[in-house]
Chains A and B, each alone.
Chain A
Amino acid sequence: MEDWVREAHDLLIEYGFRRSLLSTAVKHAHLAVREGCQEIMDISAQAAVPLLVFSAGIADVLEEVCRQQLPKPLPDTVHVVSNRMLFSSSATSSLPSSSSSPTNTIEASNKDQEVKEEGVLIGFTDPVFHVFNKRAASVLETSPYFHQDDYEHRKNVVLVGDSLGDLHMSDGLDAEEILRVGFLNDR
């Protein structure tokens, strides 16, 4: 599964995906957030409840969808756990500065040509998330999000997902109670 995701990422890199395309691509992708999403974000912000959004897709896409469709920006209590794009930052840099190491980078042979322009996709952050590893354990140690305020001491989890694999999103959390809510979609 990881190879499959990496190959999909490589295709985006190979074909020179640019940051500037993201907004338009999302706009025409017929993606929609579920009704009530903003209200949940509001509850998260007002009550200081950490809200983790797991996706085996691409964080940049997910955040752009939220930016276009939700009336407010994502609050600080929301943390997206997903694959994040790395874009070239200038004509001279090969990789943007990041605490995460890129996993998929374009080959050196065509890098010079591809990275001359700012905002060209050059890789994705590590680890690669797919449907079988999108779980808290994958980022618990490396993400500073989990180590702020009293987040580490939270013991109760409300888990919302639409696939059986989503049941593992809470894996790694030191939870005493987990209430699992599943959407069984019919399309």
Chain B
Amino acid sequence: MIGKCCEGGIPLVLLSLPFSSPPPSFSSSHHHILPLPPLKNRVEERLEVYSQRFDVVLLGDGDLSYVIALLNELVGEEDGGSGGSGGMGGKSE
């Protein structure tokens, strides 16, 4: 479909946060408009996939309190002589 869309020139790609239709300023001179779904604001849709891939999913742009509690628990266990190997934290921007 994309290849067909590109026939006759470089396509116009619209990528944005939610909009259901192209802005009114776009006229019919744009022959090929490839509607892309909004990347965000699909929490419910993405929740299923996130739930399958992540062990814990945190909603609502919250703080790091869950992770802090988790780390404290893990570090506490280690300090308590459980003999487990150390943890390695990873954080994404």
Q: Which residues of A contact B (CB under 8 A)?
A: 34-37, 39-40, 43-44, 47-57, 62, 82, 134, 150-151, 153-164, 166-167, 169-170, 173, 175-176, 179-187
What CA separation (Å) do A47 and B68 show in the bound complex?
13
User: Which of A35, A150, A156: most chain B CB closer than 10 A?
Assistant: A156
Query: In whole Å, how far is B55's beta carbon from the nearest beta carbon of chain A?
Result: 5
Q: A43-B75, A151-B88, A185-B61 are in contact. List 13 more A-B contacts (CB 8 A).
A: A35-B63, A35-B64, A36-B65, A39-B68, A40-B64, A40-B67, A134-B92, A156-B87, A166-B92, A173-B88, A179-B55, A181-B54, A186-B61
Binary contact track B70-87/A, C-beta < 8 Å → 1, others 0: 111011001100001111
Interface of B is mostly: mixed
Tell me how many residues of B have a C-beta within 8 Å of chain A: 40
Task: State whether the Cβ of B89 lies closer than 8 Å to any Cβ in chain A.
Answer: yes
Interface SS, A side: mixed
Q: Does B53 contact A (CB under 8 A)?
A: yes
Residue of A nearest to B79 (CB): A47
Q: Judge whether B75 and A34 touch: CB under 8 Å.
A: no
Cα–Cα distance between A68 and B2 once the two chains are bound (Å): 44
Known contacts A34-B64, A179-B70, A184-B43; is-contact A154 B93 (Cβ 8 Å): no
Roughly how many angstroms separate A24 CA and B56 CA in the complex, as a whole number? 37
B24 is an interface residue with CB less than 8 A from chain A = no
Q: Which chain A residues lie closer than 8 Å to B90 at the CB level?
A: 51-52, 54, 157-161, 169-170
Chosen A-B contacts, 17 in total, with CB atoms closer than 8 Å, are A36-B63, A40-B71, A47-B75, A47-B79, A49-B87, A49-B88, A51-B91, A52-B89, A55-B92, A150-B86, A151-B88, A156-B85, A157-B88, A158-B70, A161-B92, A182-B53, A186-B43
Contacts of B74 in A (CB 8 A): 156, 158
Q: Which residues of B contact A34 (CB under 8 A)?
A: 63-64
In the bound complex, how far is the Cα of B85 from the Cα of A156, in angstroms? Answer: 7
